[in-house]
Amino acid sequence: MRPAQVVFGPLVARVMNGAAGRYTQFPNALHRRNMITLKDHLYFAKATAEGAGRNGIVKSTGDSPLELKLAMPKVAAGKGDGQNPEQLFAMGYSSCFLGALQLAASRADQKEMAENAKITASVFLGHPTDPDMDGFGLRVELNVEGCDDDAIIQAAHDVGSPMHSDNPAHR
């Protein structure tokens, strides 16, 4: 298992090497996520939230419509009888990173390296350590199983980076 940690604003990623739990910083992991302008789009998704905010309903239309009841987790003084945005974010992030990992392995002519990979994303909601920042922040920890190649894992991080010139979606 190879955990990586991502903190949004600025983005920081780490990967654990070896069973001893030694963390190493990715060389170009410190990015600020920038706004970009798309020349076109490959896919369009739309979601609508209504009701009592984090205790309301969220709906997505399109190829496979989805409707979920939202609920604050019990640990945050909620009922915990529905999904929460952090769960949905973790699901999306893990699936996107798996796709990026498989693409990076394929580009390296090592497609088999990531065929059976499994990505687990843990999303943490909390207060920033910087006393000058208000509100909440997210920390994301990614665990990569089934792919032990640090170069391919780094390349997967780069696939989603707006700073990476090989990503055609960000040109």
Of 10 and 91, the structure prediction assigns the larger pLDDT to 91
In a domain, 55, yes or no: no
pLDDT band, residue 150 (cuts 50/70/90): very high
In a domain, 112, yes or no: yes
pLDDT band, residue 129 (cuts 50/70/90): confident
In a domain, 103, yes or no: yes
How many domains does the chain divide into?
1
In a domain, 73, yes or no: no
* CATH number assigned to the domain comprising residue 31: 3.30.300.20
pLDDT band, residue 128 (cuts 50/70/90): confident
Q: What is the DSSP letter of 21?
A: T
Between 100-104, 131-135, 151-155, the lowest mean confidence (pLDDT) is in: 131-135
In a domain, 90, yes or no: yes
Residue range(s) defining the domain that contains residue 142: 2-15+22-35+85-170
pLDDT of residue 161: 55
**Is 105:111 a contact under the CB 8 Å cutoff?**
yes
Tokens for 47? 């979601």
Judge whether residue 42 has pLDDT over 90: no
* R_g of the chain, CA atoms, integer Å: 18
CA pair distance 160, 82, nearest whole angstrom: 30
CA pair distance 34, 137, nearest whole angstrom: 17
In a domain, 70, yes or no: no
pTM: 0.70
Mean pLDDT computed over 13-19: 35
Mean pLDDT computed over 43-59: 92
CA pair distance 6, 167, nearest whole angstrom: 20
In a domain, 76, yes or no: no
**Which range in 34-38, 118-122, 161-165 is most confidently predicted, on average pLDDT?**
118-122
pLDDT of residue 36: 67
